[in-house]
Chain A
Amino acid sequence: MKTMFGQIVALIVLALVPALAALRWHPEFAAALAPDFSPANEVELRSVEKWTPPPLWVDARSTAAFARAHIPGALPLDEQKWDEQLPTLLQRWQPGMRIVVYCDGAKCDLAHHAARRLRQQVGLPEVYVLRGGWETWTKAHP
């Protein structure tokens, strides 16, 4: 038993060496580890509502939550249905258009996840996260 645990640890530690090397030198990780989506990319609702033209709203909550209610004109982008829902978003998006992603509230990470993927994987330039998310919207538009 002791030998088995030793072997498990040895195999896992052995794998760590090339993993650390990949994190340091693999070009795909350089992009993934680029400066994170910072709070500076979060926007306040009152600022967004003054934008002209208005942004493209993207709802990163679950598809069920989106079906119940969402910001008017918003498009769903549930990470579990990413490949299915992304093409519609790309059809609607036009160069120069700003995107604002939201999820449930200040504590949810879905909007940051989606915004990061839209920037890093899809290459969209202006993607923001609505501070306070859906909670903020519903308070402002009861």
Chain B
Amino acid sequence: MNWRALLIRCALGGVFIYAGLPKALHPAAFLKSIESYQLVPYALAVLAAAWMPYVELAVGAACVCRIWERGAYALTGAMAAGFFGLHAYAWARGMTDDCGCFGPEGVWNSHPAGLVINAVLLAASLWLARQKNPVPPQQG
């Protein structure tokens, strides 16, 4: 049993579940957060507000339960990278609105906190993906 992988996998999945659940319960607040970025038309913002929380819940559950692991780590990594970019964009533009990342009452909703969290999530996803798909030793 690789305890380190187990711990990181559960923490990664747990963060995605913790992020997805309040957004699924309170989509209007999440929609407001998406709109504040002004990056997509309203219809797409509504679709993202409906879909994104369940993608987070699905990948979080997949990580914790070790179901479709390769796909789950690819998605957690891609989402963390995407969120990192959004936080950087928002921070660079001086946006002060709550990001809504962990729901309307989330405690880590500032953009600097989002940058750190998503960098850690991206590193964890890459590490777990590497554990799942070890690089074969080079033939001499």
Contact = CB atoms under 8 A, between A and B. Distances in A.
A6 B98 CA distance: 35
Interface stretch (A14-22, A51-59, A94-102, A129-137): A14-22
B60 to A, nearest CB: 10
Contacts of A14: 54, 58
B55 A11 contact: yes
A116 B54 contact: no
A138 interface: no
Interface string A1-38: 00111111111101111111011001011011100100
Contacts of B31: 28, 32
B75 to A, nearest CB: 6
B28 A32 contact: yes
Contact of B97 (A9, A28, A83): A83
A79 interface: yes
A80 interface: yes
Given A22-B24, A29-B46, A4 B70 contact: yes
Interface stretch (B1-9, B35-43, B118-126): B35-43
A98 B41 CA distance: 26
A44 interface: no
B134 interface: no
A3 B38 contact: no
A49 interface: no
Contacts of B17: none
Contacts of A20: 50
Nearest to B24: A22
A7 B70 contact: yes
Contacts of B49: 32
Contacts of B38: 79-80, 110, 113
Nearest to B95: A80
Interface in B58-95: 58-59, 62, 68-72, 74-75, 93-95
Contacts of A6: 71
Interface of A: 3-12, 14-20, 22-23, 26, 28-29, 31-33, 36, 79-84, 109-110, 113, 116-117, 121
7 contacts: A11-B72, A11-B75, A15-B57, A19-B54, A80-B36, A113-B35, A121-B28
